[in-house]
């Protein structure tokens, strides 16, 4: 089975991301694989093990995206491709580029994604790629898909609980935490990954001409500082504190 996993490189969750002189910056905080994409890699590796086949890591990003690729390779993916994409890509552009790359890789049976990239917080790319390829989309898959005779069965997470859905391959999946913790890279994996040669494709290689993003960010701001004065509630006993706190909560008129 031919599996592709799409990963993105993002600033670490602990990074202090701020706007300085109109520029988004996270200082010297490390760049890491998008945390949700680790679940996508985990799912891909489990599927490859179960059904035979290999996993190709696909990312669109500049040179610096190598950390994300390395992490996925170190977890056990066999090869990787990096697309040198436009720096101003929105999700519409990203999805078209990834779809074209998946077609170029060829004979792909399924593609796994993370549910959301924690920089832009869009959570739309998997569904868009699915539409560009004309493949069914299983967003927010909560289990490792079961596959028999080209038919997939998977549980999807929704507000109301889980929806059990079936469909045919090739297909698109996005994953979150429900499938269980992603594996750690092994020492062997890390060594292999550091030696891996990652081919770089350009838009030309994908037969795409310059793609104009639809969505732009004319302004990025630090959120307004919330002026919060914390009032520490003290008292003689828990009951006394609770009474005072209850009065304060009632006075806020939020109930």
Ligand X SMILES: Nc1ncnc2c1ncn2[C@@H]1O[C@H](COP(=O)(O)O)[C@@H](O)[C@H]1O
How far is Cα of residue 43 from the mean position of the Cα atoms in its chain?
13
Distances (CA, A) of 127 to 39, 122, 130, 140, 148: 17, 11, 5, 10, 23
Chosen residue from 1, 25, 35, 136 binding ligand FAD by CB under 6 A: 35
Both tokens of 211, joined, read: 């793609």
Sign of CA dihedral 223, 229, 233, 234: positive
Instruction: Report 45-104 residues binding other proteins (CB under 8 A).
Output: 90-92, 95
Any contact of residue 140 with other proteins (CB under 8 A)? yes
Cβ proximity to ligand FAD, 35 vs 213, nearer residue:
35
Cβ proximity to ligand X, 59 vs 155, nearer residue:
59
Q: How many other CB atoms sit within 10 Å of the CB of residue 154?
A: 23
Cβ proximity to other proteins, 88 vs 191, nearer residue:
88
H or E, element range at 47: helix 35-51
User: Which residues here bind ligand X, judged by CB under 6 A?
Assistant: 6-8, 34, 36-37, 40, 58-61, 91, 94, 98, 113-114, 116-117, 120, 122-126
Cβ proximity to other proteins, 1 vs 169, nearer residue:
169
The least CB distance from residue 205 to ligand X, in Å, is 16
Residue whose pair of structure tokens reads 């795409």 in the numeric block: 208
Binding site for ligand FAD (CB under 6 A): 13, 35
């Amino acid at each position: 089975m031919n599996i592709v996993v799409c990963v993105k490189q993002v600033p670490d969750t602990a990074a202090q991301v701020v706007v300085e002189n109109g520029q988004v910056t996270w200082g010297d905080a490390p760049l890491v694989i998008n945390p949700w994409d680790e679940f996508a890699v985990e799912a891909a590796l489990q599927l490859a093990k179960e059904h035979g086949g290999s996993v190709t890591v696909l990312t669109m990003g500049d040179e610096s995206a190598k950390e994300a690729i390395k992490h996925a390779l170190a977890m056990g993916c066999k090869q990787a491709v990096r697309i040198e994409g436009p720096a101003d890509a929105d999700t519409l552009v990203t999805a078209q580029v990834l779809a074209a790359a998946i077609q170029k890789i060829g004979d792909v049976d399924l593609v796994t994604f993370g549910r959301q990239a924690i920089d832009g917080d869009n959570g739309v790319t998997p569904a868009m790629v699915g539409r560009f390829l004309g493949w069914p989309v299983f967003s927010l898959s909560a289990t490792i898909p079961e596959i028999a005779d080209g038919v997939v069965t998977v549980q999807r997470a929704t507000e109301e609980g889980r929806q059990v859905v079936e469909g045919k391959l090739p297909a698109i999946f996005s994953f979150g935490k429900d499938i269980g913790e992603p594996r750690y890279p092994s020492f062997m994996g890390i060594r292999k990954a550091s030696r891996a040669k990652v081919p770089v494709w350009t838009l030309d290689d994908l037969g795409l001409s310059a793609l104009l993003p639809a969505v732009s960010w004319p302004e990025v701001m630090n959120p307004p500082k919330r002026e919060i004065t914390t009032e520490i509630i003290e008292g003689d006993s828990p009951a006394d504190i609770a009474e005072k706190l209850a009065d304060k909560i009632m006075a806020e008129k939020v109930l």
